[in-house]
Each structure stands twice: as C-alpha cells, then as structure tokens.
Structure 1
C-alpha cells in the first residue's frame, strides 16, 4: 500500500506536466507554421524530463547530458525538417533514458533502445493508465477517487452562482463575463484538435515515463528432462567444408579479384582516361547504367567478406586470404568511387536533383563502410564494433546534412550549368526549381536577371510573376514568429539586400510545390 501512495503523486505530477505540454503544443503548433517552435518545444520536453528526474542531479557529470542534447538540437535552429526533427527525437530519447538510469552503453545497444522506445511510445500512456487503475482498485482507492470528484460539485456550483451575481452587481465583472463566448470556445474543439491533443499527450508521456518494453523469455526446460539433441549428419558437414571452406573462399577471392580488376580497368580506360566509347554508346548512358549496379555489387561483396572472415574463423587467420580480401575490398572502394564519377558525369549532363544528391551520399557511405570493413579485419574487431562504427558514420553524416540547404544547392548548380547561362548542357527546368521552395529564390533571380538581357526574355515572364507571388506568400508566413528559423532569416536578409520585389499580400496565396 505504501508503494501506491508514493507512486500516485508521481503519476499525478507527471500527468499535470503532460497536460501543460499539450496546452503549449496547441499554442505553438496547431494551425500554425512550423519553425523555431519545434526547438522551443523540444527544450520544454527536456526541461520536463529533468523536472521528473531530480535524483539525476546527484551525478557530478549530469551537466554533460544537457550540453550533448543542445548540440543535437542545434539543427532545429537552422531549419525544422524531417531530418532535424528525427535527430532531435532520437537525442531526446537518449536524454530521457540517461536521466532515468536505463540507458545502456554502446551505439548498437543505444540504437536498439531508441527503436524499442518508439515501438512502445504510442501505448505507454494507455498502459500506465490501466496499471494505475488496477493498483488503485487493489488498495481500495476507488471510492476515495469518486469522493474526491464529488466533493468539488458543491463549491463549483455555488462559485458559479456567486460569479453570476457579482457580474450583475459589478459592471467591470459583467464586462469580463461578456467577453467569454462559450459557443465560440466550443467551436474550437473538434475531432482534429482532440486527435492532436491525444497524439501529443501520448508522445510527451513516453518521455516523462521512459520505459522500454519487456519481452518474456520462454520458460527453460526442467533439469530432469533432457533437451532433444538435433541429429547430426557428418556428410552435411563435409559438404559445407568443401563448398564454404577455406579452399573454396580462397578460390572465390581469386576469381572475384580478377573480375573486379577487369571492371576497374574498363572504368579507368573510359572514365578516367577519356578513351572514346564504342559506337552508339554515350558517356551519359555509360554513367547512368553503371552507377547503381556497382553500388549493389559493393554491398554484396561486403556481405561476402563479413560471412567469409568471421572473427575467430580459420579463414580470418590465414594471411593469404586476408591479403586477397584487402585487395578485393580496395577494388570495391574503387568501384564506388567510379560510381560517384559516373553519377557526376550524368548530373553534368542532366542537372541535379534531390535523388541524385541522395545517391552521392549513399555511395560515400558505402565507401566508408567498405573502409571500415578493412579496419575491422586489420584490427581484429567484432561485427558489433563494425555496426557501431557504421552507425556513428551515418549519424554524423545525417547531422551534417541538417545544416546544408539542399534546395539552394540544387538551384544554384542547375542555374550555373544550364544551357541559358553557359551555352552548353540542357535547358533549365525553371518550374522544377520553383517546386524546391523559397531556397531557390536567389538562383531563380539570377536566372531572371540573365534572361532579361536576352531576346527570349518574354518566355520567362509568367514564371517570374509566379515567383513574385511565391515570395509574397513566403513573407506572409514569415510574419508569424513561430515560422522563424536561422535559414529563413538569412534568406530574408539576402532578399531584402537585393531589393527583391514584394507584392501585396494575397488573400489566397498559392504555396509552392514541395
């Protein structure tokens, strides 16, 4: 019974904090543009987590955790995007688990805990509510709760009567009461808003009660009942040793090195050496057909290396096999670099897009993963070390991407390499740049300035008018402080410095395609 009384205030206080966060989320987000408010709400959640875990301050290094969290939240100040929000959510999970003493060591275990946290988060509040009700009933608290509710009926009823009398007697109070429109308040409450409240409540409650799901293990067999041993077939082991043994792996590595050397030689000849391709084959087709299959080949090769050179196996200790693996992985890295060059040639002809930037990043991560495989073999590390190293590499890459304005990068590259600007390449797809959003405004302005000096200036007048309408809509959104971000602040400063045209605010602005 003591545990219930000690737990009840904790539940009540956390529920009160959760309701306060729901009210703040409604003020910051519902029906409002998204911007700096995401960072503010993340800081509020972190402060709430600290408030419900006061015992964590007994640790002398506790201030390192908020400092690390602040670094993880910095991308939200730059720009509130799906990537920066995902990083912030993962950091908040680690922060909450750390303060509650449930965070395990090692990147692999932490990644597993983050995944389990989000799997359990939607059901955490419902599960805790059911558990709280069952605990209250077990200790006979049901009648007390009903009495606690009923005891407020008389004071609230008489209070409402007295308030109405004061309103009739005092004109000031009467004026205040006249400002309260109950029907208007009821209009604000609809299904979408209630769903938003429940969604936020479930989310913040998971941080206030950071628990991971527990999976029950199967009951072990009694000691007196021997477990059935699988039947062994010596012939099967002999076949496995022949097909996947050291001799087979050695021969496979020799064959693979020869095949990859042939492919690398062709890339060096045609891509790096500039030798003329066979008739009917262009550099663009050569680049496009080879980029993605070569990355798939490198991933397949990485899987083979991990399977063939398992830590402690006979093949991993053989020096000849290790040298062949080093040579083969090095050739795979060359193939990935060749794939990057192929994609660069293709982009140089057919312009840049989000998908092609993603392909560049993916290829770079594959090359880094192959290099880490060599490091794992040379340093005799475990596969868990390799997974943690790749996870760290991916995390750093994604964190860095939060500070890159890819829309501006794509727009600037396509404008600078367009047929209209350089006399080479393909015509600029200006409507695609418009779909990139406000980040493409400066590049489009440079394109329009250049086109105004050419005889074909009238061809872009319609797009220029749409561009001005988009900027008017963008500025109207930025007038709301909730939409502020450091990236938008820089963009507005650049637009103002260049004297960009600002149209009057439209009654029904058309948002640019995303």
Structure 2
C-alpha cells in the first residue's frame, strides 16, 4: 500500500508530462473535431440529439485527463457538476445545460488561477474574460498575434529564407508535371472536386467552432485579477461619503419607507384583499402593469442598502438607520411577494410562457437576496459572503432547470387552465402550445380527450399529428435521437377520438 501511494505521484507526474505537451493536445483536439463531425453533421446540415451528451462526456474526459487534478481538490466538485450536465444533454439537449457545461469546463481549466474557490466575483470575472478571448487562442498559438505586433514583427523576417525554396518547389513541380506524362496522369487523376464536395461550408463552420472551443479549453492561459482588488477595503470618493452621510441616509430611509408603505398598502387592498379597482381597471391589467417595475424598484432598494451599510460607512452602526433598514427590507420582501402574486394572477387569467416562468424564478431569487442582506447585517458578514450566497443560489436554480422539462410543464399548465375546458384562462393558444415542441404532446392528448367542441378538437388533433411526426422523424436518425424523446414516444397512447359537441335538445310542445 505504501509503495502504491509512492508511485501515485510519479504516475501523475508522468501523465502530466505527457498530456501537457503541445502535440498531445493537438491530437486530442483533432480527435474531438472529427468526433463532432461524425456526431453532428449529415448531408442535410447540422443536427444534434443525445449525441450532444456523448460529445460533452468525451470533451469532459479529455479535459479532465489533460488537467490531471489532484485528489481532494475543488476540481472534483466541478467535474461531478459537469458530468451531471452531460447526462442532461444526453437526456434532453438544451441551451441552458450547454452553457452551464461550458462554464464548468472553463472554470475547471482556470482553477489554478483562482485566488479562492469561494470567491464568486473572481470566478465570474475570469470566466467572462476567458469566454470573450477564447477565439484568440488558436491565433496566439500559431504566433499570428505576435507576428502582427510591432514588438515581434522582426520574427517575420525569419520566415524569409523559406520563400525561395517553397517557390522553387511549386515552380519546378508544375514544370515536371507538364513535362512528364506519368506525373501528369497522377495529377489529373486527383479529383479536386470530390475534396471540395467534402469540405462543405457546414463542415468548415463545425470544424472551426468545435476547434475553437476545444483548443481554448486545452490551452487555457492564466488570467489574474488586478492586484489590490478587495471587496471591503476599496477607497471611496469623498463626494460619495458626503452623499451618504448619516443625515442624508436617515432622511432618505424615512421617505422611502413612506413611499413603499403607500405602494404596499394599495397592493394589500386591491391585490391581496381583492377589492374592486377604480375607473374600470381590471385585476389582470393591475397585475400586468406592476410586476416588472416593482422588481426593478426592489433591486435599486437593495443596492441602496448595500451602499448605505457598507463597512466603514458613518451610517453602519447608527441604531435609527438600522431600524429603518430592517423595516425597508421587510417592505421590499412584501413588494416582491406582491410582484409574484401579480404575475401569478396574470398567468391565471391568460397563460404561462417561458418569459413569465423565468420572471417568477427571478423574483424568487430577488426575495432570497433580500433575506441574505438581512442575514448579512445581523451576522456581520462581508460583501463577499453576500455575493457568494446569491451566486450559489442562482447557479443552483439554473442547474436544476437544466434537468427540468419546462416545455412539458408549461404545456400541461396551459391546457388545464384554458377556458375551453372550464378553466379561468383564455381560449387555448394552440400555435404557442405547438411551438413548445414534442414535449407538448401529452398536453394535446389530455386536451383532445376532454374537448367537447369538435372544430377545436380537430385542430388540436392536427397539431398533435404534426408534432408526433416530427418526433418520430427525429428519433429515426441516431444523430438527433434523444433518450427523453424515446421515452415520450413510447409513452404516447393512440390518438384519442374527440367527443363530439351536441346542442342541447329542446322540448317541443
């Protein structure tokens, strides 16, 4: 056992020496590009299904092998998260899972540059810079960036001795082909058209995009924050200190609490208690107009609180200001709750969409952020703690959404709350339901089985048949096949027949 433990570092060192070589990474990148070509390209163009999960797992394996992380490091947490996203892409590919996977892989290769894994701002900054500059990685390694700069322009002179031999080879080669029938037959037998038939625009785009992604991960450069960056010890301009003096903050909090009390009082009366609105205003109109502005108001209020109670501020330890801050934060939480209720009422009266569902999730995160602000004040935590807590909550929610069937949930909600089947909402928007894709098939089946109006049932059957054919066609091609699609197709019952609507019989005397 002791000898094995002693050999483990030697094995990692040897593996690192092999995988860190330039040509090893070049071969790995070439393998991944060819794998992408086989998985995503067909004569009709690009197509991707569960093959995206297979490619993601292959990319993760190669990146992990090239990184050779130390046991017990933060790399394992990123690796497990990335592996889960590979499964999400295999089950039902989506852009959210792909973006999160890219973020996890980028953080994995940038891990040695972190000041601390628990520094969300550091991670976000380096991830942003890396994403914006990843397209420059191939040019940097080819030396084109250095050759283009004035400082290294002299290196281009070193290429001058190659001009004469290359020109001579091309010139004499053409002359020999012209003069030698054997060489001429060999040259003319080469089918250049077939080469260009293979090198299509779609293939070149796929190769370039995949190569850029893979190469940037395998050849990630170190990115560091400027020295001296700190959350709590930043110098504040004197004018800002005067602007946020104890007197000004105290007066602002009193006025803001009064304004928020007025808004929350109106919401409590008309939104929560359901009192009749004046001037013929409907509850749907009242709900729709206020949701998004209230969230913006809450965000600005949160920013004001953070500045007013920053460490070292004159107002940080003032008892009156802290009491007004707690009151204002409570009002902001109630304000966000009212915005959520507004959105829920509007969805109940109309329908659920991706935008409205995303707004609800965002409002929930904003409310959680206010809870964290209160916790930060009570527990005396730093700004770094607050940012990390919000970042962890947002990433956790996004990670969970990558595995959720949001299209199926939206479709199911809309058909069950449609006015056609006795729900509170409007008439079912079938074009929007169909735009959700094959995930809406169970919702269409439920709607058709309960629909008594024949024309609408027939229209729903037509949409259902189109989505079913689209799903069946995708599942026939192994490149576009998905595990979720296969399970959905196997679970679909035969198309139910609509129950014909009949006019009520009148008794004729």
TM-score (norm 2): 0.78
1:72 CA displacement: 4.2
Q: Contact 1:120–1:213 at 8 Å: present in 2 too?
A: no
Query: Quick check: 1:477 aligned with 2:487?
Result: no
Q: Contact 2:298–2:336 at 8 Å: present in 1 too?
A: yes
Cα separation, 2, equivalents of 1:356 and 1:132:
45
Give the one of 488, 494, 501 matched to 1:499.
494
Aligned length: 442
Alignment partner, residue 89 of structure 2? 76
Q: Contact 2:32–2:214 at 8 Å: present in 1 too?
A: yes
1:62 CA displacement: 6.5
Alignment partner, residue 437 of structure 1? 437
Cα separation, 2, equivalents of 1:427 and 1:93:
46
Alignment partner, residue 95 of structure 1? 108
Q: Contact 2:100–2:399 at 8 Å: present in 1 too?
A: yes
Alignment partner, residue 188 of structure 1? 198
Give the one of 11, 27, 32 matched to 2:22.
11
Give CA deviations for 1:97-140 in whole Å, capped at 9, x if unaligned. Answer: 23xx33442222112111121122100111011079989x79x9
Q: Contact 1:116–1:212 at 8 Å: present in 2 too?
A: no
Cα separation, 1, equivalents of 2:72 and 2:258:
58
1:407 CA displacement: 1.4
Cα separation, 2, equivalents of 1:15 and 1:378:
53
Give the one of 10, 31, 37 matched to 1:26.
37
CA pair 381-20 structure 1, distance change in 2 beyond 3 A: same
Query: Quick check: 1:299 aligned with 2:299?
Result: yes
Q: Contact 1:33–1:477 at 8 Å: present in 2 too?
A: no
1:262 CA displacement: 2.1
CA pair 278-323 structure 1, distance change in 2 beyond 3 A: same
Query: Quick check: 1:114 aligned with 2:127?
Result: yes
1:9 CA displacement: 8.6
Q: Contact 2:113–2:223 at 8 Å: present in 1 too?
A: no
Cα separation, 1, equivalents of 2:431 and 2:316:
55
Alignment partner, residue 487 of structure 1? 484
Q: Contact 2:97–2:402 at 8 Å: present in 1 too?
A: yes
Mapping of residues 112-511 of structure 1, within 5 Å: 112-130=125-143, 183-212=193-222, 241=242, 243-422=243-422, 424-451=424-451, 454=452, 456-495=453-492, 498-500=493-495
1:78 CA displacement: 3.4
1:499 CA displacement: 2.3
CA pair 185-475 structure 1, distance change in 2 beyond 3 A: farther
Q: Contact 1:35–1:484 at 8 Å: present in 2 too?
A: yes
1:8 CA displacement: 12
CA pair 67-286 structure 1, distance change in 2 beyond 3 A: closer
Cα separation, 1, equivalents of 2:146 and 2:29:
18
> What secondary structure does 1:428 align onto?
coil
* Structure 1 spans left out of the alignment, 5+ residues: 1-5, 152-163, 165-177, 218-231, 502-514
Q: Contact 1:69–1:95 at 8 Å: present in 2 too?
A: no
> What secondary structure does 2:299 align onto?
helix
Q: Contact 1:93–1:207 at 8 Å: present in 2 too?
A: yes
Cα separation, 1, equivalents of 2:145 and 2:281:
71
> What secondary structure does 1:52 align onto?
helix
Q: Contact 1:290–1:342 at 8 Å: present in 2 too?
A: yes
CA pair 9-432 structure 1, distance change in 2 beyond 3 A: closer
Alignment partner, residue 230 of structure 2? none
> Where does structure 1 differ by over 4 angstroms across 4 or more consecutive aligned residues?
6-9, 57-65, 131-135, 140-144, 180-185, 213-217
Give CA deviations for 1:131-184 in whole Å, capped at 9, x if unaligned. Answer: 79989x79x99999x99xx99xxxxxxxxxxxx9xxxxxxxxxxxxx9x98754
Alignment partner, residue 40 of structure 1? 54
Which has the larger displacement, 478-487 or 317-326?
Answer: 478-487
CA pair 215-192 structure 1, distance change in 2 beyond 3 A: farther
Cα separation, 2, equivalents of 1:427 and 1:133:
63
> What secondary structure does 2:21 align onto?
helix
* Structure 2 spans left out of the alignment, 5+ residues: 1-16, 170-181, 183-188, 228-236, 497-509
Q: Contact 2:18–2:24 at 8 Å: present in 1 too?
A: no
Q: Contact 1:309–1:315 at 8 Å: present in 2 too?
A: yes
Cα separation, 1, equivalents of 2:129 and 2:354:
31
CA pair 436-374 structure 1, distance change in 2 beyond 3 A: same
